[in-house]
Amino acid sequence: MIKNYLKIALRTLWKSKGYTALHVVGLSVAFCVSILLLLTAYFQLSFDRFHQDADRIYQTYFFSNNPDKPSKGSSMPFPLTPALKAEFPEIEAAARVMNGSSMVTYQGKHFDKMVRLTDADFLNIFSFELKKGNRQTALTDLSSIVISEHMAKAVFGTQDPLGQQLLLGGEGNQKAYVVSGVLADFPENSSLQYDAFIRTENAGNYHQDKDRWDASNHTVFIKLAPRVDQASFEKRLKPFAQKYFAENFTNLKRQGAKPDERGDLFAVRLQKLANVHFNTDISGSGAVGTVYAIVGIAFFILLIACINFINLNVARSFIRAREVGVRKSLGALKKQLFFQIWSEAVLICLAGFLLGAVLLYVLIPEFNAFFQAKLSVAYLLEWDKLALILAIFGLVTLVAGGYPAWQMSRFNAVEVLKGKVSMKRPGVLRNSLIVTQFCLSCLLISCTLIAVRQVEYLRQKPLGYLRDEVISIPVGNQENGQKVLQRLRNELADDPSVVAISGSEVNIGRGKDGSSSRSMIGFTYKEKEITTDWLHIDYDYLKTLGIKLLDGREFDPAFATDSLDHVIITESMARALGEKNPVGTFFQTDSAGKRIQIIGLVSDFHLYSLRDEVKPITMYLSHDEPIEYIFVRVAPQSLLTAMEKLEGAWKKVAPRAEFRGTFLDENINAWYKSEQRLAGMFSVASGIAILLSCLGLFAVSLMMIGQRTKEIGVRKVLGASVGSIVLILSRDFVKLVLVAIGLATPLAWFFMQQWLESYPYRSPISGWVFVAVGLGAVLIALATVSFQAIRAALMNPVKSLKTE
């Protein structure tokens, strides 16, 4: 029986090679693209879920219900973790995690590595596999270091690393550590990334800040005991917050803050480990909305392909109606007819799936490169991914192939043989599906245009400094930034193409080193709680970046006290202080600290991306703290040769450090890679969606016009012109497209308005976007249908009537 079904199905498909090819091509593209997108989303949603007790692991964060708006922060003070462990027995383990990088030295060789600081409990919280060493004792000693497999291979080669001694730190500031363990490399879907771990007590500021509750610089992870509820534990944390952060409560009340719906002015709260990657309010680097958008795009493309399949098969069912009638009259059952017709759909879907799999294999490298994804063939062959792929195949085969087969198997044999097959309900279905197709296509195109406009807006918006003429160079760990900066100044002092040189501890944008850092402090000034970015800079910072000085002066080598107690602030900082003329004003960052004087006021500038509103910035000078990035401003006429010239100078002043210079414009563009990837996905998806929609419209119009051959012949005999016939044949399809545009426009506006709400700086949604999309969709539909309509209108009416 099955053999006969397949044999007949193959013969039928071979007789209609054109339609079969349309089906296979459309389905293969849809399968390929949707699977790539769904697996990308699946990968993002799998972040940090691989840990054995992930459901019991939480990151702590501070909640503050400020008068203007609530704020959250993941940066914790050193004494928090010991206090939590001492006062809450339900905490099974707790560990501080500090970001860090260091120059690692072994037998005279130097390596730049990501060396994080943590506590002994880290290995009891997270289930990263320990390849060598003892999990319970690997981090108990302050001079122990646990390294990754990758670092072990890079530093020691094939030699056993356990017990080997490494030196961490720069010249004159090195400390010896003994390798006590080797961790497996972190998976790609891990928020925690590392090359090595040492104890938190080795932090340079640990001893001076270990008892300070107002100095925060690291994240904290805790593992609760089984069956401890998050909500009830957070309630238990309320007295803890009031005990150790009483000053925060006092300041918030003084500012007029009110408790939130949970009754909190200030609180220590928890977020699940699975949410860390996506919670951008606290510390996440991803946006869950983007993942859902990817899932939506994949679903849209599959839906459009299924609609094509259903429309074509329903349209062709009237051609095959007599065949069904004859089979029924000869005794075929509904079930047999269903399986016979459905077997054709299964073969088409299988062919489309196999061709899609070939496309998938070929396109994975390009997809990864374009969208910075992490997919691989091995990843696709894991059992859960294969189950997802097979589920997609089964769903498309069942829905897209099953409905037309079920519809055709229900034909009444007597009516079919008399030529009385009703067109009403299939026509409504066909029109509804065409509207749905073009609605989804217009929705995707509108979203694409709005997303592209927003990315361009973010990239082009003035940031308060020069970015086309300034080059940023990461110093790295193998050189002393202060010394390199001075050497570079001396080397380029007589070069007329160099306008100014300065340095800072924080980069602007994201350079080739890929790192980003932020230092913030909070203090009370005139009974107001002030939070500001605390930015270490060097001489000529304002001149180098072209930041406008509004009042006072810049740091000057002629004033020795500038490096002791003087700062320059931005307009936002002045507003936060409540000072209209802040130059000359003094403030203190803590009760025991020295008085700091403001010597300069500058216009606001965006030190970080436009995803956040501009923040108050306080700039200070220090000859002891490191310079991590050097900025060089070059003359506009020297832009083409500047990078090559700087690289030559860099080799002289920093021979051990790699030159990784980039223009600030490149760095700033790197801030918005996620938006660019989303816009790219929308672009590709909308292109494929409109292509599939046109493919379906072309095939349906061909079928519908073929069924109206006699009508066209009669109209021509009665004197109808070619233009009028084309208009008659095209207008019904254009009406459907206009309905689709009417449905897609408010949907696109609503969804993209919600997406834009997450940006404090955003490009307004313009009406021309929807007008352009509407005109484009109508023209594409007209072009698709008109080809067949013109061909039918030009046909000899005598031949049409004879054929019919």
Residue 397's nearest CA partner among 770, 791, 27 is 27
Structure confidence at residue 539 (pLDDT):
93
DSSP 398: I
Structure confidence at residue 675 (pLDDT):
75
> How far does Cα 5 stand from its chain's mean position?
47
Count of domains for the chain? 2
pLDDT at 199 over 90: yes
Q: Which amino acid is at 45?
A: L
Structure confidence at residue 486 (pLDDT):
93
Going by pLDDT thresholds of 50, 70 and 90, the confidence category of residue 411 is low
Give 726: exposed, middle or buried? Use CB within 10 Å, 0-12, 13-18, 19+.
buried
Q: CB–CB of 792/703 below 8 Å?
A: no
Q: CB–CB of 92/121 below 8 Å?
A: no
Evaluate the CA torsion angle 762, 765, 769, 774 in order and state its sign: positive
What distance in Å separates the CA atoms of residue 733 and residue 739, rounded to the nearest whole number?
Answer: 10
* Of the residues 234, 260, 276, the one at which a domain ends: 276
Domain membership of residue 339 (yes or no) is no
Section 48-73 average pLDDT: 88
Structure confidence at residue 18 (pLDDT):
62
Structure confidence at residue 86 (pLDDT):
92
Q: CB–CB of 641/478 below 8 Å?
A: no
Q: Which helix (H) or strand (E) holds 168?
A: strand 165-168
Structure confidence at residue 220 (pLDDT):
94
Structure confidence at residue 355 (pLDDT):
87
What distance in Å separates the CA atoms of residue 467 and residue 671, rounded to the nearest whole number?
Answer: 14
Structure confidence at residue 774 (pLDDT):
87
Domain membership of residue 3 (yes or no) is no
Structure confidence at residue 424 (pLDDT):
45
What distance in Å separates the CA atoms of residue 282 and residue 369, rounded to the nearest whole number?
Answer: 29
What distance in Å separates the CA atoms of residue 371 and residue 625, rounded to the nearest whole number?
Answer: 38
Domain membership of residue 459 (yes or no) is no
Section 183-200 average pLDDT: 90
Q: What is the mean pLDDT of the chain?
A: 82
Residue-number span of the structural domain to which 60 is assigned: 54-276
Residue 266's nearest CA partner among 71, 72, 65 is 65
DSSP 98: B
Comparing 385 with 122, the larger pLDDT belongs to 122
Q: For 175-179, 333-337, 375-379, 535-539, which range has the lowest pLDDT when averaged over its residues?
A: 333-337
Instruction: Summarize pLDDT for 19-50 with one digit per residue, the tens.
Output: 677 778 778 888 888 888 888 888 888 888 88
* Of the residues 669, 698, 715, the one at which a domain ends: 669
Instruction: Summarize pLDDT for 152-163 with one digit per residue, the tens.
Output: 999 998 899 999
* Of the residues 669, 687, 710, the one at which a domain ends: 669
Section 396-421 average pLDDT: 60
Section 594-618 average pLDDT: 89
Buried b (16+ CB within 10 A) or exposed e, 630-647: bbbbbeeeeeeebbebbe
Domain membership of residue 42 (yes or no) is no
Structure confidence at residue 423 (pLDDT):
44
pLDDT at 599 over 70: yes
Residue found by looking up tokens 């880290």 in the block = 122
Comparing 199 with 459, the larger pLDDT belongs to 199
Structure confidence at residue 152 (pLDDT):
93
Q: Which tokens belong to 420?
A: 């009385």
pLDDT at 73 over 60: yes
Q: CB–CB of 668/473 below 8 Å?
A: no
In degrees rounded to 5, what are phi and psi of residue 504?
Answer: -160, 165
Structure confidence at residue 144 (pLDDT):
93
E strands of 450-604, at which residues?
470-474, 498-504, 520-525, 528-537, 549-552, 566-570, 586-587, 596-602
Domain membership of residue 620 (yes or no) is yes
Q: Determine what percent of the chain is predicted with pLDDT higher than 70.
A: 84
Domain membership of residue 403 (yes or no) is no
Instruction: Summarize pLDDT for 472-501 with one digit per residue, the tens.
Output: 999 877 788 889 999 999 999 888 889 999
Most confident of 258-262, 615-619, 764-768: 615-619
Domain membership of residue 622 (yes or no) is yes
Instruction: Summarize pLDDT for 210-256 with one digit per residue, the tens.
Output: 888 877 788 999 999 998 999 999 999 999 999 998 888 887 887 78
Section 536-564 average pLDDT: 91
Most confident of 297-311, 436-450, 777-791: 436-450
Name beta bridge partners: 106.
Answer: 109
Going by pLDDT thresholds of 50, 70 and 90, the confidence category of residue 566 is very high
Domain membership of residue 606 (yes or no) is yes
